[in-house]
Structure 1
Amino acid sequence: MDAYYWNKRLNPFWLNSIRQLYNSGGNITEFLREEFDESSNSSEIIEIAYDAQAGNVFSEYTTIPKETELINSNAEELYSHLIPHLFQGCSLMDVGTGELLTLSLICKNIDIPIDVLAFDISWSRLYKGRKIWDQNIPNQNLTLSSFVADMKKIPLRSKSIDITTSMLALEPNGRNLEILLKELFRVTKGKCVLFEPSYKHNSDEGKKRMDRLGYIKDIEETAENLGGRIIDVIPLKKVLNPLNLPACFVIEPSRNDITNEHNADRFTVPGTDFPLTLDEEFLTSTDTGLVFPILKEIPILKEDAAILATSLFE
């Protein structure tokens, strides 16, 4: 199935039909689940769906006044919940950041120096998002490092991030919630402040929609089973979709003895602590012989983007 899947993914005529489906208002993830006989959204399905949508969020934000007001209002509320957990010099990572729109609207109000990291599974969304970030962020105290990655295997050292946040990014990963939270806990040493759908607070119609689309459920229970501690769950008031009621989940990850506060090499082989070193337009791993490309200053740090190049290190 994997070979068939990727052959279709790379077929330009098939990709064009996906874009046409999206432009006509169709749901790409539902179509792909049926096409590949999947009961829930795989990373590949999410990547294709998000790539097809790249640029549309910002386009709606800038051209539809109602959307502009709603997104600005939502960002203000997210900021109010996130800012109490930030401190001078901390690292903030946004997983599944998309086009960086909401993150940039939040960060433009942050007046302390912090280190911002943001990744998405779609290179196209990040590429467009870098321009949005530059437009929205006048604050030179903020440094941004963006990269392509899969949430299942984050290319950062264990316990290297102070605060991890997500904004409906975990949402479509219903069957992988435990895997994703475990990986977020691995890299986070402070808190996870997650803005995600709340099945418990949703309406019956909203719950049916979440079930149909394969959305996540039971964040609190899953986090506790992984050793995390639920500090707070706050339903959000500014809602983009009344059938998708989110909450702010503040979680303290499980702890271990690993700390990585001062590392010369930021990135690692996805899901591990093997460091990556910059070598021209690539990031290389002497431990594994793997090499990862950088396209337009955006590192592509997914397993399926790796090149096995052991001779490079001889």
Structure 2
Amino acid sequence: MLAARQAYAQGQNITELLRQQKQLSYNSPEIIEAAYDLQAGTYIDYVENNLTQAQAYAGELAGLLSQHLKPQDSLLDIGTGELTTLSLIARQLPFPPDHLYAFDISWSRVHKGMAFAQQHMGDTFERLTPFIADISEIPLLDKSVNITVSSHALEPNGETLSELLEELFRVTIDKLVLFEPCYEINSEQGRQRMDRLGYIKNIAGVVEQLGATLVEQIPIKTSPNPLNPTVCFVITPPDVATRHAPTVRRPGKVFSVPGSNLPLENLDGFYCSQDTGLCFPVLKSLPILKSSAAILASALMD
């Protein structure tokens, strides 16, 4: 991590450096977490310096998302980063979701983002439950949220797109509204960049392979980077993903052992699993619900 910090200070691309160090051809969760931890706060700085453009982008996303969101729905934002895009989207929705969940793999990014969210999200902030998690093993019960949304959260996960979509299908009841880069409509220069950075491609094809339905595919007009064009992918999960009947979940009662349907209960400031004996810590009011953070503490539940 020390070498990564030094490289970041010199302006080097951290994901490329860490891939070389670990001799990997893809961005592992550890690489993504390290890169984003080092960048924590920079997205807020960018948005505050380019607020008009950021609000226009979020407004376009809010308009598309609102077509699939009902007032009683719960909404999950994956890879929320510093909560910048989510906060600006929430402010421009015609009505707030009944409950809003948001997570990122980087504790530092969410921690820094909470102040931005409190300032910009409006009344929806009171409905927000933030936590720390990995998209590959979401710590939510099966079919626990109505709508799942993203903004370039799947982007760096080119090698694991299929597995990540399956995990999103597991927790989502109604639809996924994913705002992600589209390799297929990109320029040759943009495609080369996406290849070099290990970005996702062929979302439509992977969705079809998994038995889900791509309802719509809409290019975003206000996408800020012409080399990384954003497309709205509206997806209905496959029927097989609904094997667990949806139930009414109380806010704060949807957490699970990461990637499973085993519930967690809040106990003595930790989130604990009676089934496994695993406990997950909370740091500065942010639950850290990653397998790497788990503590085996069965005696706590005696």
What TM-score, normalized by structure 2, do the two folds share? 0.95
Q: Deviations over 1:143-178 (max 9, x none)?
A: 000100000000001111111011000000000000
User: Which residue, 101, 104, 121 being the options, matches 2:105?
Assistant: 121
1:136, 1:84 → 2: CA distance?
22
SS across alignment from 1:193: strand
- For the 8 Å contact 1:116–1:142, the answer to whether it is kept is no
Superposed displacement of residue 224, structure 1: 1.2
- For the 8 Å contact 2:141–2:254, the answer to whether it is kept is yes
The residue that corresponds to 1:309 in the other structure is 297
Alignment of 1:1-314 (within 5 A): 9=1, 14=2, 17-62=3-48, 64=49, 67-114=50-97, 115-139=99-123, 143-255=127-239, 256-264=242-250, 265-314=253-302
SS across alignment from 1:119: strand
Superposed displacement of residue 212, structure 1: 0.7
SS across alignment from 1:248: strand
1:163, 1:259 → 2: CA distance?
16
2:96, 2:153 → 1: CA distance?
25
Superposed displacement of residue 225, structure 1: 1.1
> What's the Cα RMSD here?
1.4
1:69, 1:206 → 2: CA distance?
25
Q: Deviations over 1:75-95 (max 9, x none)?
A: 111111111111112011110
1:103, 1:91 → 2: CA distance?
14
SS across alignment from 2:159: helix
Instruction: Give the AA of the match of 1:170.
Output: L
Show structure 2 runs of 5+ residues with no match: none
- For the 8 Å contact 2:148–2:168, the answer to whether it is kept is yes
Moved more, 138-147 or 30-39: 138-147
1:102, 1:222 → 2: CA distance?
26
1:28, 1:168 → 2: CA distance?
18
- For the 8 Å contact 1:96–1:151, the answer to whether it is kept is yes
Superposed displacement of residue 262, structure 1: 1.9
Superposed displacement of residue 261, structure 1: 2.9
1:242, 1:139 → 2: CA distance?
33
Superposed displacement of residue 281, structure 1: 1.5
Superposed displacement of residue 56, structure 1: 0.7
Superposed displacement of residue 211, structure 1: 0.7
Cα gap change, 1:74 to 1:186, in 2 (>3 Å)? same
Cα gap change, 1:140 to 1:61, in 2 (>3 Å)? closer
1:235, 1:138 → 2: CA distance?
28
Q: Deviations over 1:39-77 (max 9, x none)?
A: 010000000000000001111222x3xx22222221111
1:57, 1:195 → 2: CA distance?
17
- The number of residue pairs the alignment matches comes to 297
Show structure 1 runs of 5+ residues with no match: 1-8
Superposed displacement of residue 311, structure 1: 2.0
- For the 8 Å contact 1:50–1:122, the answer to whether it is kept is yes
1:181, 1:266 → 2: CA distance?
19
1:73, 1:25 → 2: CA distance?
29
Shift >6 Å, 4+ stretches: none
- For the 8 Å contact 2:90–2:124, the answer to whether it is kept is no
Moved more, 254-263 or 277-286: 254-263
Superposed displacement of residue 216, structure 1: 0.4
1:112, 1:202 → 2: CA distance?
34
Instruction: Give the AA of the match of 1:230.
Output: L
Superposed displacement of residue 233, structure 1: 0.4
Moved more, 249-258 or 29-38: 249-258
- For the 8 Å contact 2:91–2:124, the answer to whether it is kept is no
SS across alignment from 1:200: helix
Instruction: Give the AA of the match of 2:230.
Output: P
1:135, 1:280 → 2: CA distance?
30
State, as a whole percentage, how many aligned pairs show the same letter: 48
